[in-house]
């Protein structure tokens, strides 16, 4: 996910995507705890995507 892709979406779309990413992050943490995680790098990607969305949502709110 690139920042330019995130910026092109509306706030509602970003919030929906944020919820989906948080669910995925929870599932990945659960898989790691039970030793069933297939792609360990995905944990880092999801965490960064969440941060990226939160940052852009904050910037959009500050601009209003």
Looking at residue 20, what is its pLDDT?
97
Q: Do residues 52 and 3 lie in contact, with contact meaning Cβ atoms separated by under 8 Å?
A: yes
Domain boundaries, the chain: 3-63
Looking at residue 1, what is its pLDDT?
79
d(CA 33, CA 52): 25
Q: What is the pTM of this model?
A: 0.90
Mean pLDDT, rounded, for 47-58? 96
Hey, what are 22's tokens?
A: 């948080």
pLDDT tens, residue by residue, 1-44: 788 899 999 999 999 999 999 999 999 999 999 999 999 999 99
Looking at residue 3, what is its pLDDT?
87
Q: Which CATH code for domain 3-63?
A: 1.10.287.310
């Amino acid at each position: 996910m690139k920042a330019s892709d995130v910026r092109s979406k509306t706030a509602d779309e970003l919030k929906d995507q944020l919820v989906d990413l948080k669910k995925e992050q929870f599932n990945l943490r659960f898989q790691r705890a039970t030793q069933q995680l297939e792609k360990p790098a995905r944990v880092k990607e999801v965490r960064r995507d969440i941060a990226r969305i939160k940052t852009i949502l904050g910037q959009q709110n500050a601009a209003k």
